Amino acid sequence: MSRRILITAGASGIGRAIADRFLEEGDEVAICDADPAAVAEFATALPGTIAEVADVTSEAQMDAFLSGLESRWDGVDVVCANAGTGGPAGAIETLDYEEWQRCIATNLHGSFLTCRWAARVMKAQGHGLITLTSSTAGLFGYPFRSPYASAKWAIVGLTKTLAMELGPHGIRVNAVCPGAVEGPRMDRVVAMEAAARGESEEAIRQSYVKGVSLKTWVKARDVANSVHFLASEGGARLSGQILAIDGHTETLAP
C-alpha cells in the first residue's frame, strides 16, 4: 500500500533525494519549494507527483499549499520538514540582522508551520511520522556560522519536544543531522566561508573532512536512505531521536 509523503524544499538537494527514494517504493509524493525553476523541473521529470511553489516562511503560502494538499489526500503518512538555508557567515559583530532573521525564519519558522499542520492532520488519523532536517551544526558549536547553528540547535529542541507531545497520539518525530553534503548548496557555503575567513575554498573543504572520523563528505542519497529507514518497519519504535548522517563529526571548529 502506497504512503503519502510530503517534503518541504523537495525540488532539489536533500529534499529531491528523499522524494526519489520514496518514489522508488511506489509512494505518493508531494513537494513544495521556493524555487519556481526547480519546481518546474521536478514536475516535468516526475509526472504524477504534486509539486508547487511555496515559501516555508510565508504562513499564507504554506496554508494555501497545505490545505490544498489535505483536500486532495485527506491525510498524510510522512512529513519531512526539510527546508533550510545556510544564512550568512562571519564574526557575530559583522552580521546583518535581516540576514540573521531570514536564516532563522527558513530553518525554524518554516519547520513550525509544517509541523503545526502535520500534527493536526496526524492526530486526527492516529498515526504518522515527522522528520525534521537539522545538521551537525545543531550538535556542535560552529564558529562564524552562528545564525545557522542557532537555528539547527533549535530544530533539535523542537524535535524532542514534539516527540513527547505527539507520541501519545501515535506520531513519531525524529531529526536527521546531515554533515557536509556534496552538491551546489555546499559549494556556495564553502565559497561564503572562505570569504568570511580569508582562506581558500580548498582549505575550507579540507577542514570539513579533517573534522570527520570517516574523512569523507556525505551524499544526499545517504540522508534519503536514513529518512526512508525511519519510515520503515525497522524504524517503527524510533522517536525523539537525533540521527547524525555525517561519518561521525568530531568538531566543526576551524
215 within domain boundaries: yes
User: Alpha-carbon distance 38 to 10, whole Å?
Assistant: 9
User: Alpha-carbon distance 86 to 170, whole Å?
Assistant: 33
pLDDT at 16: 98
pLDDT per residue as tens digits for the range 135-194: 999 999 999 999 999 999 999 999 999 999 999 999 999 999 999 998 887 888 888 788
128 within domain boundaries: yes
SS3 89: coil
- Residue 150: domain span: 4-245
105 within domain boundaries: yes
* Of 148, 160, 215, 219, catalytic: 148
90 within domain boundaries: yes
Identify the CATH number of the domain in which residue 48 sits. 3.40.50.720
96 within domain boundaries: yes
251 within domain boundaries: no
- Residue 161 is classified by DSSP as H
* Of 97, 152, 160, 219, catalytic: 152
Per the annotation, the verdict on 152 as an active-site residue is yes
pLDDT per residue as tens digits for the range 86-120: 999 999 999 999 999 999 999 999 999 999 999 99
pLDDT at 192: 79
Total residues belonging to the chain: 254
Per the annotation, the verdict on 219 as an active-site residue is no
Q: In what order do the strands lie in the sheet with 171-178?
A: 50-53, 28-33, 4-8, 78-81, 128-133, 171-178, 242-245
User: Alpha-carbon distance 33 to 106, whole Å?
Assistant: 12
- β-strands 28-33, 50-53: how paired? parallel
Please tell me the total count of domains within the chain.
1
58 within domain boundaries: yes
User: Alpha-carbon distance 195 to 204, whole Å?
Assistant: 10
Q: Are 175 and 132 in contact (CB under 8 A)?
A: yes
User: Alpha-carbon distance 22 to 14, whole Å?
Assistant: 13
SS3 175: strand
250 within domain boundaries: no
